[in-house]
Amino acid sequence: MSEATVKLRMPVNRPDPHLIRLARDQELFQQLLADPSIQTSLERIQGGVGHTLMAEKRRQLSASLRITESVSPYLHKVLTTVKTLLGLEMPVELYVTPAPVLNAFCMTLPDSEGLLVVVTSQAVERFTRPELLFLVGHELGHGILQHSRLPGGALLNPMDDDARLSWDQTMLMLRWMRASEISADRFGLLCCQDPSLATRVFLKLASGLPGQYLGVGEEFQDQMDDWVKTKIAGEGMDETHPLLPIRVACSHAFAESEYFSHFFGAGAVEACNSMEGADNACHDQLCQMDADHVQIDRLDHPEEVMGFLALAGFLLCASDNEIDTVEYHWLCELVGRDLAERARGFAGEAGFETYVQEMYSLGNGISQDLDRKQCLKLVSDIAIIAAVDGHVHPNEVKGMQMVAEALQLPSHLADVVIKDLGAGSDQRLNLRGS
Ligand SMILES: [Zn+2]
């Protein structure tokens, strides 16, 4: 769609954040804020977050361009249009930062000084004016809904280990973060006013390509269908953003809702869905990325085999240099928490070489009583750890080769196992958005 054909409609109603907000976002947000241990974590990091925000504002002042009418009439108009459409009266500072990536973020400044939105230079170049309305509207949506009251980065990656969230809280937090993106997209849609424009934004985010190479993206949803079909175990549950085709589907659901039609006055847009219907459609889409659909069965082997698998599995968990939360949880479910923790403790005490020696010696012993097929089965039982996030890191391939070797198998058999998992090494679908 060319820019010239887009004519913005003025809303006849002021946006109502409570109605626009996805029910799932609201519910999970309240649930997380009411959790006493999350409250404790928030208190612990609150002062820190305030300082971080001020530091970030100072950094933007020194390293980015603050948009005023004379600095960039074009971008100033984008901001004032979005503020008018969203009926936003609080002060908003818009900055453009030089960066070769498509990105934007919003921060609520402490002491209700308003909102700060930063957009990268590449986003300004790649997105058309209506697409920028979507992007800036999305960011202001985060600000209006006060999503920063639950700072995801600080809560999920706390500076001190004691403040680390439990598995359930981590999953809840990630589930909420993904839902909050859909709410923010709805504010973007009220600004660009056309879901096909939002789809163009998502196509550009997914590909990094400029508009002349892209069409309307009708088959984008098929990519999601393929993803679901070939999805490996818990893939997706550790993502902070919904996969982009999910955002496309949710945008359409909102644009077909009564609320969207009501916003522009009766008869302006035809509604074919209630707001509840739109929320339910988004809920179903988002559930595809949740952890709770995944049932992990405990492996059932004799004690010494389980001990070996715990060592082998922990080696895979730690092989990309940090212990992946999702992978470690998976190991706990597969071999039991006690064995997983014993392997973790042993790795900490013994150091890499001794750890590997112990794994080889256990593997060696086990392989005496098993045939090759049974040994290969053990490798594939534990190899799932490396693939739960849908991505097999080259170090994880090395780890699997070591596990195979420990069981007296030729190391190239690890490649066969990876193929069977359906995860080509380094073939991850990278669909992160802004
Ligand atoms: Zn966002």
- Cα(310)–Cα(331) distance, integer angstroms: 7
Ligand 1 centroid to residue 28 C-alpha, Å:
16
**Segments making up each domain of the chain, as ranges:** 14-34+51-287, 303-421
Residue 360 CA to ligand 1 center (angstroms) comes to 46
Kindly give the distance from the C-alpha atom of residue 374 to the centroid of ligand 1, in angstroms, as a whole number: 47
Q: 160: CA distance to ligand 1 center in Å?
A: 26
Does domain 303-421 match CATH 1.10.3680.10?
yes
Residue 205 Cα to ligand 1 midpoint, Å, equals 12
Yes or no: say if 92 and 119 are a contact pair by the CB < 8 Å rule: no
Q: Mind listing the pLDDT tens digit of every residue in the chain (434 residues)?
A: 444 455 788 888 889 999 999 999 999 999 999 999 898 888 877 665 556 666 777 777 788 899 999 999 999 999 999 999 999 999 999 999 999 999 999 988 777 679 999 999 999 999 999 999 999 999 999 999 999 889 888 888 777 666 778 778 888 999 999 999 999 999 999 999 999 999 999 889 888 888 888 887 777 777 766 766 666 555 677 788 998 889 999 999 999 998 998 888 765 567 788 899 999 999 999 988 886 545 678 899 999 999 999 999 999 988 877 777 778 888 988 999 899 999 999 998 998 899 999 999 999 999 999 998 999 999 988 888 887 766 677 888 889 999 999 999 988 887 777 777 654 433 332 222 33
Measured in Å, residue 46 CA sits from the centre of ligand 1 at 21
Ligand 1 centroid to residue 397 C-alpha, Å: 34
* 178 CA → ligand 1 middle, Å: 9
Element at 281 (helix H, strand E): helix 275-287
- Say how many Å lie between the CA of residue 70 and the centre of ligand 1: 28
Going from the Cα of 307 to the center of ligand 1, the distance in angstroms, rounded, reads 43
pTM of the model: 0.74
Q: Which amino acid is at 108?
A: T
Which residues sit opposite 94 in a β-bridge? 117
Whether the CB-CB separation of 29 and 143 falls below 8 Å is answered with no
- Ligand 1 centre to CA of 202 (Å) is 12
Q: How far is the CA of 187 from the centre of ligand 1 (A)?
A: 11
**Separation of CA 104 and ligand 1 centre (Å):** 8
Q: Is 236 exposed, middle or buried (0-12, 13-18, 19+ CB in 10 A)?
A: buried
